[in-house]
Amino acid sequence: MNPIRSVAVLGAGTMGTGIAAHLANAGVRVLLLDVPGKADEDRDAPARRGLDRIRRGRPPALMSADDARRIEPGNVEDHLGRLGEVDWIVEAVVERLEVKHALYRAVDAARRPGTPVSSNTSTIPLAQLVAGMPAAFAADFCITHFFNPVRYMRLLELVRGPATRPEVIEHLGRFCDEALGKGVVPCRDTPGFLANRIGVYALQLGIAEALRAGVTVEEADALLGRPAGIPKTAVFGLYDLIGVDLMLDVVASLRRELAPDDAFHRLGAELPLLEAMVAAGRTGNKGGAGFYRTREVDGEPRREVLELTTGEYRAATRPHLAAAEAGERDGLRALVEADDRYGRYAWRVLSGTLAYAAALLPEVGDDPAPIDAAMTLGYSWREGPLEMIDALGVGWFRDRLRAEGRAVPPLLEVAGNGSLYRDTPRGRAVLRLDGEHQPVARPAGVERLAEHSRGRRPLAGNPSASLWDVGDGVLVAEFHSKANALDADSMHLLAVALERVPRAHRALIVYNDAPHFSMGVNLGFVLDAAERGAWSEVDRMLVDFQQTCLGLRDAPFPVIGAPAGMALGGGFEVLAHCDALACHANVVLGLVEPQVGLVPAGGGCKEMLARFTARAGDAAVGARDAFAQIAAAATASSVPEARPMLLVRDHDVATMHRDRVLPTARALARERLAGGYSPTPAPVFHAAGAPTLRAIVDGLAADRDAGRISAHDVVVGEALARVLCGGDVAPGTALTEPDLLDLERASFLSLLREPSTRARIRHTLATGRPLRN
């Protein structure tokens, strides 16, 4: 089949524009077609409006604004003939069968024979979509169900029909995996496919059980979020994120399509609360209010929550629940065994969801592994339902269901007291209904650290980090503290790795499987030490951090940073000292310390000053440019955005697929070793000096007087400028790396003594958000 270099997307709504944008991110030319405009406007106006929404989207749908140039708007009357030019046609129009059928007939007449056609539908069975269509069309047709927002959601459900050619599925599956970075999960043509079938069931059950048990919105999300290995949006927050009205449509669709005896129907009856919310315009985040809302009170944003019993809003709280704390500390079993109404609530929701998922076999397929893949990729669960049953213990889970008089899924009966997954010499295997364990299928070239660490002891480790041998002469340093916040243990593990690699290995990769590489230095430690007046402890921590980062740069072997998710503050400073980066394309990078009233002090100021000065060829310009970026706590949300910000360099690379980051880092290490390796020389600095420092400080004062920044922002900005200008010295004064590192630490410590800085840190730790000026 033709390589996919151009794609037509039919429909410029939310999903169509999201798909078009992500295709453009991947370097593909896109023809975006919608209905013709009204008589008094350009006939391409609907598609042009879609392109405008792509450009303005938040979160950004494009990795770079330049990617929009690859998208050409048009309409389905004037430009349908151009479908013969494209290599794939994706339909994302309104979920009305008669509309789709009319469009398909026109598409079939215009497309090149053999060109794959797919629908993004999530509600209409494939059998209905191809009913009455020519056999050749049905042979080239499938469903490619993307999740919203398309750029960020990793799951793609790929549904084939009985007539679909295998080569169509293979061709689209490989492209969506390798080019678009999707986790492609094969699905049968069953209602809701996999992720929404299970995920919507879980949400409905979570709401119904909360109403029954008298559990509040915040309590439910606190219990079924992080303690259960589910994103903190959990139940009610996720309903708001998706949209209450859209969720009701999805529930109604499932109720129409599912068999009468499906357990979903026991939850599928309308919940009056949800109907009332939609009628009142409380549709979730997009409507400004749902189960949660934020409004201004005395000039400050106040988070409010819907009281389920009254339908009125009240101030949101941060519940401290013993069951939730036990779950986070001791695991899933501790959460559902807690002997209070919160533990019982968590058990009812989780046990119902996990049992429902396990009971879907063999309806949804013979292979259980796609069930877990769908939920980890589509709903960002840490583990899938069957993996969670393994974590609880199959025998324990089955016996508790049976003791409560509840149905036990056949798969659990087959498992007995064994596990659903097991590790074999050929890799991970999963139990099937026939009693045999089969290897878990995965595309060639994907790799996660868990495959090397599961069931093994690290070469070295502590509570914050571990060191693993992943073969090929490569060691991996893994951060695994909460949010991968960096502390003395994290840096000690890196120091151990630097010592061990030369003994029997050739390269070090700094990588982890977690959602975020690192959110920065452990602010809890910093605040605690400051409030105890333990300034020497903070200084010692900073010295160790700085010296370890220099050790990464100066190592006689390549150190490859392999970030995904967020790599902020100290996390970015670690990466900035690596020889090269192999990034997930969606990585978020930046130095954000000014948001909490501090300056980067792990070598971040020094590194960015060196990069901006090298680009400008002038010390003063370099200092001003570095100041502008760091003072604003500016971040990049993709590798293309990061390049002009100098957060990644020309020799750093990226991959669209999260599970290809580690193998990409391996390949980069081999490339850096080829022909011999020598570390990057230390940069040489000449100070911008006192004139540039005074100019920056004068600009800060003017911004303060104009009300654009606070008095404390001036203090922070002056401390940052002092570092980047080399202090109050003559322009051109020679500076060493230790000079700049000393200035970083001095500014950090002086700011930490400021009550306003400690207040910002305290607020950030309490709320997860920086304090507004």
The tokens for 461 are: 């480790």
Distance CA 89, CA 613 (A): 47
Token representation of residue 9? 């997307």
Q: What's the pLDDT score for residue 773?
A: 57
DSSP conformation letters of 418-434? S-SEEEETTEEEEE-TT
What is the side-by-side order of every strand in the sheet holding 292-297?
292-297, 300-306, 313-315
What pLDDT is attached to residue 270? 62
Q: Is 617 exposed, middle or buried (0-12, 13-18, 19+ CB in 10 A)?
A: exposed
For residue 141, what pLDDT is reported? 98
* Residues of the chain above pLDDT 90, percent: 93
d(CA 240, CA 313) in angstroms, rounded, equals 15
Out of 65-74, 165-174, 273-282, 371-380, which region has the weakest mean confidence (pLDDT)? 273-282
Could you give the CA distance from residue 548 to residue 576 in angstroms, rounded to a whole number? Answer: 12
Would the pLDDT of 198 be above 80? Answer: yes
Cβ burial of 502 (10 Å; 0-12, 13-18, 19+) is: exposed
Each residue of 628-652: pLDDT tens digit? 999 999 999 999 999 999 999 999 9
| Percentage of the chain exceeding pLDDT 70 | 99
Q: Give the CA angle between residues 322, 326, 332 to the nearest 5°.
A: 130
Query: In angstroms, rounded to a whole number, what is the distance separating the alpha carbons of residues 144 and 698?
Result: 56
Give 401-450 pLDDT, tens digit per residue: 999 999 999 999 999 999 999 988 878 999 999 999 999 998 999 999 99
Q: Torsion-angle region of residue 24: left (phi > 0), alpha (psi -120 to 50) or beta? A: alpha
Residue 123 pLDDT class (50, 70, 90 cuts): confident
772 pLDDT exceeds 70? no
What's the confidence (pLDDT) of residue 279?
A: 93
Tell me which residue has tokens 């708001």: 240
Given the structure tokens 């453009």, which residue do they identify?
24
List, for residues 258-316, the tens digit of each pLDDT value.
999 999 998 856 678 899 999 999 999 989 999 999 988 877 788 999 999 999 999 99
What tokens appear for 694 in the block?
A: 């005074």
Whether 117 has a pLDDT exceeding 70, the answer reads yes
Q: Give pLDDT, residue 268.
A: 56
- State phi, psi for 512 to the nearest 5 degrees: -155, 160
Residues 75-88 have a mean pLDDT of 96
- Answer yes or no: is pLDDT of 1 > 90: no
Average pLDDT over residues 573-591: 98
Q: Across the chain, what does the average pLDDT equal?
A: 95
- Angle between the N-to-C axes of helices 385-392 and 369-378, in degrees from 0 to 180, rounded to the nearest 10: 110
The predicted pLDDT at position 269 comes to 60
Whole-number pLDDT of residue 134: 97
Cα separation of the two ends of the chain: 57
